[in-house]
Amino acid sequence: MSTKLIVVGFVVLGVFLQAGFCQDNKTSTPMDYCQSVLCPIHKRHIACNNKGTLSKQCPSNAKVVNLSALHDLILNEHNAYRNLLASGKIKHLPQPERMATLQWHDELEYLATLNVKQCALQYDPCHNTLEFRASGQNLALINITQLAETDDNHTDASLLKLTNHTDHQSLLDLTNHTDENLIKLVIATWWDESANVTGEDVRRFPKGKLEDSAGHFAVMARENNTFVGCAALRFDKSPGQPHFLLACNYASDYICDWPLYKEKSFGCKSGLDLKYPFLCKAGEQYQQPGAAVEETTAKNSFWI
């Protein structure tokens, strides 16, 4: 049984879920998602024999959001936060040595689309690829009606507790909850979990309860997260209850008992990005932990 937890404390925005896991890295045949070597034992890949249709549990009004025009927005939001961390301006966390610049990846987007087509906040048992053998995932579900009620009243403290950044209030004040604004709010909320993380957690991300309160940030802050692909879906859970579901799949997940990133010493080998001057230039190469990780994850396979 999986130990991944659903964060239920954020009532107004809905529920946030993050799937972090540890697993073995093995070889696989490209595009054959039913290959058992892609996934932990007894875990089915989201794309295995998946025809890409909406789930039977989806309401008739469910519709996948076209994010083609928002790829740059999603990348900018992620990279701006990562650049802030890499600059050393998040004072309670150590400054990273080599923080990658995220780029868009079509296969990760495709797999994220399969997730949202379930019309439920449900993490994948497995969504790895041939290229990304320990792929991370962040999910969020927003009840737009409750969010709109908060916009009207401006008094709901439970929502304000989600966010610490100065630009969030401008998002909350908008009664027109566009795809762009909802995505910004979700990503900001994921990043706000950095407040729950210490320097020691960065050096060795622990198993257990911190995955619940900081797992989304942990995925976003992985130094070797070079690619991301996201998908979104709108649907009414019941009449008059519109919801927005967002899934982002990443090249890398956090690894239990391993650092989220190395602390600053020598820096980027490929140079710095021009737009995000504290991030490594796109194309920076990273070495996965390798055999030592396989030994650790095999021993802790109950976290898969």
Total domains present in the chain: 1
Residue 123 in contact with residue 18, Cβ under 8 Å? Answer: yes
Q: Which two tokens stand for residue 128?
A: 């790895």
Report the C-alpha gap between 150 and 232 in whole angstroms.
Answer: 22
Rounded to whole angstroms, the Cα distance separating 78 from 227 reads 11
Q: What are phi and psi of 275, to 5 degrees?
A: -80, -40
Residue 1 lies in a domain: no
240 domain residue, yes or no = yes
Quote the CA–CA distance of 107 and 231 in Å, as a whole number.
11
Classify strands 103-104 and 227-236 as parallel, antiparallel or unpaired: parallel
Q: Is residue 206 part of a domain?
A: yes
- Which residues, including other chains, have CB under 8 Å from residue 244's CB and lie 6 or more apart? 141, 142, 144, 177, 179, 182, 232, 233, 234
pLDDT tens-digit readout, 14-67: 445 554 433 343 433 347 999 988 999 999 999 999 999 999 999 999 999 999
297 within domain boundaries: yes
Give the residue ranges of DSSP H helices in 65-209: 71-86, 106-116, 144-153, 157-160, 168-172, 179-192, 199-203
Q: Single out the residue of 260, 293, 278, 280 nearest to residue 103, CA to CA.
A: 280
Q: Are 302 and 3 in contact (CB under 8 A)?
A: yes
Q: Do the domain assignments include residue 178?
A: yes
pLDDT digits (tens, 9 = 90+) for 257-273: 899 998 886 568 888 88
Domain that holds residue 49: 6-303
109, part of any domain: yes
Interval 242-298: pLDDT, tens: 999 999 999 999 988 899 998 886 568 888 888 998 899 888 888 765 433 333 332
CATH number at residue 242: 3.40.33.10
